[in-house]
Amino acid sequence: MPLFTSFPIATAFQALSIPRLVRMCWALLIGTLGLVSCRQAEEGDLVPLPTSVCLQTMHHDVPVPEVNVFFKFNCDTFPGYHHPADWFDTLVVSDAQGRTCLSPVAPGKHWAVAFGASEHGLILPIYGRFPFEINLDTRIKVDTFLYMYE
C-alpha cells in the first residue's frame, strides 16, 4: 500500500503518475513549510490591548486640573486613602482640563483614587475614588467622571 494514500494531495500526486520519490519530496517540503510558519511569539510581536480608562476629575461640577490619580489594579475592594504613593500601581496627573487617560489597562477589577486641591476660594484638600472593570468581551474602554469631595 502506498504511503499517505488517505490524504487528498497524495491521491492527486498518484493520479498524475508522479514518481514516489517526488511525492515524498513534496510532502517533506509542505511539512517543513508548515513547521517553519508556526513559531513562538516574540516580545516585539505582542499586540497591545485596545483597552483604556479616561476620567474627568470634577468638584462641584467644575473640572479640577493637576489632580494625582492613583490606579490600583486587580483589587476587588476599595484600597483606601491612607496608603503611600508607591503602594499604588500607577500615577497619572490630570491635565489643565482635569482629564486623565491610561492605556492599555489589563482586564480585571481596578480602582482609581484621586487627590487634589479645591480651587473654590479656600484651598482645601479634595479626594475621590472610582471603581471600574475592564473586560475584553464586554467593556474595553471606560470614559466617565471622577467626582471629588472635601
Query: What's the domain count of the chain?
Result: 2
Q: Do both 16 and 89 map to the same domain? A: no
| C-alpha distance from residue 82 to each of 52, 72, 91, 112, 133 (Å) | 26, 13, 15, 14, 23
Distant-in-sequence, close-in-space partners of 87: CB < 8 Å, separation ≥ 6: 72, 79
- Structural domain contains residue 56: yes
Q: Do both 17 and 66 map to the same domain? A: no
Q: Do both 73 and 124 map to the same domain? A: yes
pLDDT at position 118 is 83
Q: Do both 132 and 79 map to the same domain? A: yes
Q: Do both 27 and 66 map to the same domain? A: no
Give the domain range for residue 22: 8-37
CA 100 to chain centre: 17
Measure the CA dihedral 32/33/34/40, to 10°: 100
Q: Do both 28 and 70 map to the same domain? A: no
Looking at residue 75, which CATH number applies to its domain? 2.60.40.1120
Q: Do both 103 and 143 map to the same domain? A: yes
Q: Do both 107 and 141 map to the same domain? A: yes
**Across the 150 residues of the chain, what is the mean pLDDT of every consecutive 10-residue run?**
55 60 73 63 70 94 93 93 92 95 93 89 88 91 93
pLDDT at position 150 is 87
- Structural domain contains residue 42: no
For the question of whether the overall pTM of this predicted structure is more than 0.85, the answer is no
pLDDT at position 13 is 54
- Structural domain contains residue 14: yes
